[in-house]
Structure 1
Amino acid sequence: MPRALGQVDEQKSRAILRAAAELFREKGARTSMAEIARRAGVSKQTLYNRYPTKLDIGRALAAQRSDAVTAPLQSGAAAEDVLAAIAETLIRRICLDDKGASLRGVALVSPEAPDLARIIYEAGPGESVRRIGVWLAEQDRLGRLTVPDPRAAAEMFAGMALGHGHLRSVLGLPHPAVDDVPARAREVARRFVRAFAPD
């Protein structure tokens, strides 16, 4: 069966990003473009055509994660349901023992490649917080929540969901068991909504 137009390109792009994420976790900023191409099973020319620099790769990886985290913002669901879905994604990506290795990769990269670390933050966690803040501002405008500082509230929400998850992941420490991730996410959302409920 013939491939659809662009299908091969998308597969190669996914392979490149997957390989880059693995190598950044393993080697940090010392990862070379040649190593990424080799692990992805593509030519260096293919890699450079899609992602001219490691900064471009880092930006793309972070943007993927931000899109996944903030997808519920487009659902039109009730505030608590939207926030519970986001909290669950955050917990699953950071606070489970086999997750969060990418944070160690960013921590490894940051002293050697501060520009890469900044881009990863801005396109990933920073963008997620920005989008949540915009959504919270809209909830405030609609009278569903009272959020005087949406950006600060968005950061607060992420902190409530993750606790010390970021720190444990960066340090390579085990995470406490989370027996029921959806229930924990729902509790975070419920408490947040209660804290910012209209008077």
Structure 2
Amino acid sequence: MMMNLFSTFDPTTSSLFSLNWICLFSSILFIPLTYWIIPSRLNFIWLIVFKTLYKEFKTILNKKENIGSNMIITPVFMVIALSNFLGLFPYIFTSTSHLSITLALSLPFWLSFMFMGWWNNSIHMLAHLVPQGAPGILLPFLVIVETISNIIRPGTLAVRLSANMIAGHLLLTLMSNSCTMSPMILSWTIVVSQMALMILELAVAFIQAYVFSILTTLYLSEIN
């Protein structure tokens, strides 16, 4: 029985250098050699996924000057999805369960959006702090609320992604620990439940990558 459940997310493998963070680049090892041969079936699958995401983000970014921005957000979706997916395998570290990784993804996007918005369209950014049709007596309070909600956006993006990754892995860990001390019939029930939970976690891995990308695109669309 482990003393701390969160020790499963401890990125420490040695006293000198932690090798767990290599998992961020290990997705390259899972790409078959046929991917680099053009054309190939894997290339066609990748293009279909890429075009689908491109069209999805394009509907949010209506203006022509923002259409090229989803060429950056789409690879971010693939990186997060692959990292979440690899974290489901045994003995592979889940990097997206740490705020140091998720915050490193969300904070640069938010800072660049804020800089671009205040630099190019500061009047619109100021008007965005005041909801349309709000009563005058509530305007100072609403400005404070909108400012705080805008500042915490990178934190909410990072916490949402890491918390969902941690929750599923912790539940799997609790079920596996209880399985070793349970009767045979109950153990089989727990194993079946773990298999169903793994399917759910597989869906969550891609859903959370999609949510992160969609929210980033929505934040970009609001600055224009």
| Fold match by TM threshold 0.5 | no
Larger Rg belongs to = 2
TM-score (norm 2): 0.37
TM-score (norm 1): 0.40
